[in-house]
Structure 1
Amino acid sequence: MPSFSDYVIYVDESGDHDLNSVHDDFPLFVLAFCIFRKSQYVHEIVPAIQEFKFRWFGHDMVILHEREIRKQQAPFKFLQKKDVRQRFMDELSAIVKDADLTLIASVIDKRKLKRRYASPDNPYHIGLQFCMERTHAFLMEHDQRGKVAHCMFERRGAKEDRILELEFRRIKDRGNYNAIRMDELEICFVDKKANSSGLQLADLFARPIGLSVLRPEQANRTREIIVEKYRRSPAGKTLGWGLKIFP
């Protein structure tokens, strides 16, 4: 039986990694790895989210999707009332702020990528390599050598999932900057309808990460929370450690 890590990683994305499709309002591809210590995830984070759902919906089957919340779509239509929306967002922000997690993210600007390279690589693959390298480094820093840590990805389709898994395993097997084996990382796919607290938190982070890079001067209530979650260097540096902006 394998030895399992004390950590689990939930992954989400924002934007389109298709270089033939660049939207002016969000020309980025964002990949976010949220690393949780399992003991804190099980005993603190999941109960907080469950209590929040029961308080606001009467049950815990609602899935917290950033897009539906932002657009006030079902089952979040009640957020059209400003005072209710304020209370809801304040409570949700408090949960996200209190969640003990480490964030590693990559932001790929597709416009700059196309201008700089004649044959640019897939933005997803670029972001994936960065996030896997830094996640593996985090695990090594926390005495997880030889322990399997699962990276949970939302399913996108059989073909796309096969391509992603091949790239994940290529990077894992020395296809990375330091040409090392990252046997501690394992990929898992989760159905889109899975009511996973970790995936929902990752979803809440992904788009705001991109917006904080795309429009840094714009008010973004999630930005202050995000900044505190990034993996940092011993000197407190975020860029290159918890956040990669490329190119």
Structure 2
Amino acid sequence: MKLRIYIDEVGNSDLGSSDDPNHRFLSLTGVILDLSYVKDVLTPEMEALKTKYFESHPDDPVIFHRKELLNKKFPFHPLRDPKLEAQFNIEYLGCLKRWQYKIITILIDKKEHAARYTTWRYDPYHYCMAIIFERFHLRLQELKVVGDMMFESRGGKEDMRLKESYRGIFLNGTSYIKPMEIDETLTSRELKIKPKSANISGLQLADLLAYPSRRFALKHYNLLTDERITFNEKVIEVIEDKFFKRESILDGYGLKLLP
């Protein structure tokens, strides 16, 4: 068995911060999947869902994107029909509950970090990537399997810098993982980065879950300031049990708050 963690972010990755939650907090969410399951179950079921509601076609596939889906923008405009939207939501939540995956969300409070350390040792995005790397390594160790990591492309320079940072972890390890231990769990010294247009089901699932997972993390750490009840709460109810735990412990495994 080989696992892959598909990763997406919410928030700004720059070094600045403010009291605006969108700027203050950066989160990276990884969705861990068995690659055989991706091929045999996740991808065909996700494509069937798109075809049923949005007339997706192999020559011109619909790509799931949470923000566009939420706002019912093309190609998700059929959801402007309330009856169809209600039907889709039931089926969508059913998929999120039924599909087999684990979630890891890393949340960094950039304002707190700046106040505590004054200078940044790492790019916030790369810092979160290193921490999610460690948690994924723990999961692979726990299951005695191997795996790799995939991010959605953010552009040429950003992708190159992220790949370089990943190589550094592979070469030098982290504060908690020795390089020789990494060789036992991670199969690739090169980070996989793919564009949204590649229609990769794992990356789309990460995109769909990144914001609800961030909201769940903020609530868990008593940092949530937006108390509105939205569809995200229904998603959180479904995915709460999907977060990686060790001996029933969530904090430090499926969720991690960084200063």
Common fold by TM > 0.5 = yes
Aligned ranges 1:156-235 → 2 under 5 Å = 156-181=154-179, 182-183=182-183, 184-185=185-186, 186=188, 187-212=191-216, 213=218, 214-215=223-224, 218-219=228-229, 220-234=233-247
Say whether residues 1:12 and 2:8 are aligned partners: yes
Cα gap change, 1:163 to 1:112, in 2 (>3 Å) = same
Alpha-carbon separation, structure 2, partners of 1:86 and 1:25: 30
Q: Any unmatched runs of 5+ in structure 2?
A: none
Alpha-carbon separation, structure 1, partners of 2:16 and 2:5: 30
Pick the structure with more helix per residue: 2
The AA in structure 2 aligned to 1:106 is I
Aligned ranges 1:31-46 → 2 under 5 Å = 31-46=28-43
Alpha-carbon separation, structure 2, partners of 1:95 and 1:22: 37
Alpha-carbon separation, structure 1, partners of 2:9 and 2:118: 25
Q: Provide Cα deviations, 1:123-164, integer angstroms capped at 9, x if missing partner.
A: 2122111110010111111122xx4x2211111111111110
Q: Give the drift of 1:117.
A: 2.0
Three-state SS of the structure 1 residue aligned to 2:178 is: coil
CA contact (8 A) 2:96 2:239 kept: no
Q: Give the drift of 1:114.
A: 2.2
Three-state SS of the structure 2 residue aligned to 1:193 is: helix
Moved more, 176-185 or 8-17: 176-185
Alpha-carbon separation, structure 2, partners of 1:23 and 1:66: 25
Alpha-carbon separation, structure 1, partners of 2:56 and 2:77: 17
Alpha-carbon separation, structure 1, partners of 2:175 and 2:210: 24
Cα gap change, 1:39 to 1:108, in 2 (>3 Å) = same
Moved more, 77-86 or 96-105: 77-86
Q: Provide Cα deviations, 1:26-49, integer angstroms capped at 9, x if missing partner.
A: 232111111111222222211211
Q: Give the drift of 1:215.
A: 2.5
Q: Segments of 4+ in structure 1 off by > 4 A?
A: none
CA contact (8 A) 1:28 1:210 kept: no
Q: Provide Cα deviations, 1:40-82, integer angstroms capped at 9, x if missing partner.
A: 2222211211111111122241001011112222111232333
CA contact (8 A) 1:12 1:31 kept: yes
Alpha-carbon separation, structure 1, partners of 2:8 and 2:83: 30
CA contact (8 A) 1:129 1:171 kept: yes
Moved more, 205-214 or 151-160: 205-214
Three-state SS of the structure 1 residue aligned to 2:234 is: coil
The AA in structure 2 aligned to 1:190 is K
The AA in structure 2 aligned to 1:86 is A
The count of corresponding residues between Structure 1 and Structure 2 is 239
Q: Give the drift of 1:171.
A: 1.8
Cα gap change, 1:15 to 1:126, in 2 (>3 Å) = same
Alpha-carbon separation, structure 1, partners of 2:177 and 2:215: 32
Q: Give the drift of 1:110.
A: 2.0
Say whether residues 1:137 and 2:134 are aligned partners: no
Q: Tell me the residue number matched to 1:94.
A: 94
The AA in structure 2 aligned to 1:62 is V
Q: Provide Cα deviations, 1:201-240, integer angstroms capped at 9, x if missing partner.
A: 0001111122221538553121122321111011x11110
The share of aligned pairs that are identical, in percent, is: 32
Moved more, 36-45 or 156-165: 36-45
